[in-house]
């Protein structure tokens, strides 16, 4: 093998190794649907759609964030307690949040909470909603017991976007 070819081969190997290192951390987006629901004697055929953003290190899920807006006419509102609904009614923008961290030393929930607050959101408990979603038939299949489940509320209508930025990952704008 001549020297010129060796140098080209070494250059290609070093370049590909450096580039592959840049792609070890990625952020993927998608959706998750909870199909249909029940409450007391009510049964409905409706999907609760969560927007999903997932932070991966190589193929390992490090952090997962799912948010859903529940329309006022949605049957899924039956899952909220009266107090939870009152809190939601006072919000200009409210969402249900499902958040999962593989290792809270790497990506702590407090980091998410701080960024929610910087974007103008406050957290509130949704214990009644949580009970219902965890009893949904899809809950076990989706592993929802591993998630922190809560609501967020923005009381004022401002243009401040929800931006999530974890160290080592690209910034993610969430609508």
pLDDT digits (tens, 9 = 90+) for 1-49: 566 656 565 555 554 444 445 569 999 999 999 999 999 999 999 999 9
Q: Is residue 54 part of a domain?
A: yes
pLDDT over 50 (residue 67): yes
Q: Is residue 15 part of a domain?
A: no
What confidence score (pLDDT) does residue 85 get? 96
Q: Is residue 11 part of a domain?
A: no
Per-residue model confidence as pLDDT tens digits over 105-143: 999 999 999 999 999 999 999 999 999 999 999 999 899
What confidence score (pLDDT) does residue 2 get? 64
Q: Is residue 150 part of a domain?
A: yes
Q: Is residue 21 part of a domain?
A: no
Q: What pTM, to 2 d.p., does this model score?
A: 0.84
158 confidence band (pLDDT: 50, 70, 90): confident
159 confidence band (pLDDT: 50, 70, 90): confident
Q: Is residue 39 part of a domain?
A: yes
**Count of domains observed in the chain:** 1
What confidence score (pLDDT) does residue 157 get? 83
Q: Is residue 8 part of a domain?
A: no
Is 124 buried (19+), middle (13-18) or exposed (0-12) by CB count in 10 A?
Answer: middle
What confidence score (pLDDT) does residue 97 get? 98
The distance of Cα 149 from the centroid of its chain, to the nearest Å, equals: 10
Domain residues for the domain of 169 are 26-174
What confidence score (pLDDT) does residue 9 get? 55
């Amino acid at each position: 093998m001549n020297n010129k070819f060796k140098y080209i081969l070494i250059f290609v190997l070093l370049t590909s190794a450096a580039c592959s290192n840049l792609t070890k951390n990625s952020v993927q987006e998608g959706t998750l649907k909870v199909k249909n629901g029940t409450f007391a004697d009510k049964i409905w055929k409706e999907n609760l759609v969560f927007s999903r953003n997932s932070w991966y290190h190589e193929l390992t899920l490090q952090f997962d964030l799912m948010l859903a807006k529940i329309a006022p006419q949605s049957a899924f509102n039956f899952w909220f307690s009266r107090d939870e609904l009152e809190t939601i009614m006072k919000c200009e923008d409210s969402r249900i949040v499902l958040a999962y961290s593989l290792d809270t030393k790497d990506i702590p929930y407090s980091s998410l909470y701080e960024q929610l607050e910087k974007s103008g959101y406050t957290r509130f408990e949704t214990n009644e909603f949580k009970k219902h979603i965890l009893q949904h038939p899809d809950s076990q299949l989706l592993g929802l017991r591993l998630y922190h489940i809560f609501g967020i509320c923005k009381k004022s209508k401002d243009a401040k976007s929800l931006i999530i930025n974890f160290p080592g990952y690209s910034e993610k704008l969430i609508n």
